[in-house]
Amino acid sequence: MKPFHLAVFTLLVITILALLAPVIAPDSTPQANDQQPLLARQQLGSSTWMLEIPKNEPSDIGLFHFLMEGEPSRFTARPLVSFKESVDSIQLEFLKGPLELKSKSSLPAGWRITQKTFPLGSDSLGRCLWSRLLWGARISLSVGLVAVLVSLLIGLSLGLLAGYKGGWADQLIMFVASVAWSVPTLLLIVALAMLLGKGLGIIFVAIGLTMWVEVARLIRGQVLSIKQMQYIDAARVLGFSDARIMFRHILPNVAGPLLVVSASNFANAILIEAGLSFLGLGVPPPTPSWGNLLAENRGFITTDLAYLELLPAFSIMLLVLIFNVIGNHLRDRLSNTTS
């Protein structure tokens, strides 16, 4: 399988896993934030018995809400070391001591004993790392998508206008782009976040607002070349409006380079978000961003629980590599087509 095909297939698998996180994750609670401090630092593949006692709270959510945000737990769970059933009693041994239910041949109505698994272990608060990695994939894919869309909306519009109109419009837009380009990305994002406020959506938009310059410069350069073509002169002679010429005759011809820079920006947005979250400036806890997971588990890097830190780091590396491979393939195909 070629690297491009493998990258696309892996991206498709990650996307499906992220979308189905509430269904396939062992912890389907919102943000996979079911904290069990008594089960902290569980090893890979470990499992434990849990006594689940119903909360008797109404829980009526739709399928869409469940897929988007998960479902609050309907049970209060207590970890068990063991349990033993006899004719007239049930003996339950908890991590904090034993409990015997006498004259009971079965658990009270609604109570149940289930097995909780930790495929990739648990963190210092007893949360399932596999579940939080799946939810974190949603954050990374979302921030990349939103950032790319914001950068395309701004950069494409300004780049088309600057390249096609020229003159004072071109000079003004390129001056603003140069000023934005000169400010360090991290500093600009922090300033925007402080100006616009905190929140998941604000971080997404702030990252997108720092990535439009590259798109605008690329589109401007392409438009300056394309607008000299004879078919553009013919369109002007036929009386077509500037908007029609830009969006119907020029824009389709810059789609190739636009895809390449979008793939690169997608990877950059994932890295920026992870860095901001690691520094405590990005997605606020307990939302399981991969950057947050790195920050929460960095103390384990020199212990036998180093995988708590290495798995989120590998996830970031893999997703960034995927988009770089896709971008390089698109660039090579575009170069071969033009040559």
| 239 CB-near residues (< 8 Å, 6+ apart) | none
Distance in angstroms between the alpha carbons of the first and the last residue of the chain? 26
What pTM, to 2 d.p., does this model score? 0.86
β-pairing verdict for 89-94 and 46-54: unpaired
- Mean pLDDT in residue range 270-276: 89
The per-residue pLDDT for range 183-224, each reduced to its tens digit, is: 887 787 777 777 776 677 777 788 888 888 889 999 998 888
Model confidence at 237: pLDDT above 60:
yes
CA 71 – CA 67 distance, rounded (Å): 9
Phi, psi of 178 (to 5 degrees): -65, -40
CA 123 – CA 286 distance, rounded (Å): 12
The per-residue pLDDT for range 113-164, each reduced to its tens digit, is: 888 889 998 988 889 999 999 999 999 999 899 989 999 999 999 999 988 8
| 73 CB-near residues (< 8 Å, 6+ apart) | 29, 34, 55
Neighbouring CB atoms inside 10 A of 250's CB total 22
Find out whether 113 and 98 touch, Cβ atoms under 8 Å: no
What is the pLDDT, as a whole number, of residue 104? 47
Residue with tokens 């520094």: 279
- Mean pLDDT in residue range 17-31: 90
pLDDT higher at 61 or 221: 221
Provide the mean pLDDT of the chain. Answer: 84
- Mean pLDDT in residue range 292-315: 90
Domains, the chain, ranges and CATH?
47-118 (no CATH), 130-338 (1.10.3720.10)
Report how far Cα 16 is from the mean position of its chain's Cα atoms.
Answer: 13
Q: 255 falls in which pLDDT band (50, 70, 90)?
A: confident
What is the pLDDT, as a whole number, of residue 127? 92
Q: 102 falls in which pLDDT band (50, 70, 90)?
A: very low
What is the pLDDT, as a whole number, of residue 322? 95
Kindly tell me the burial class for residue 238, based on how many C-beta atoms sit within 10 Å of its own C-beta (0-12, 13-18, 19 or more): exposed
What is the pLDDT, as a whole number, of residue 128? 92
- Mean pLDDT in residue range 60-77: 81
Phi, psi of 48 (to 5 degrees): -150, 155
Model confidence at 298: pLDDT above 80:
yes
- Torsion angle (degrees, nearest 10) of CA 314, 297, 186, 139: 60
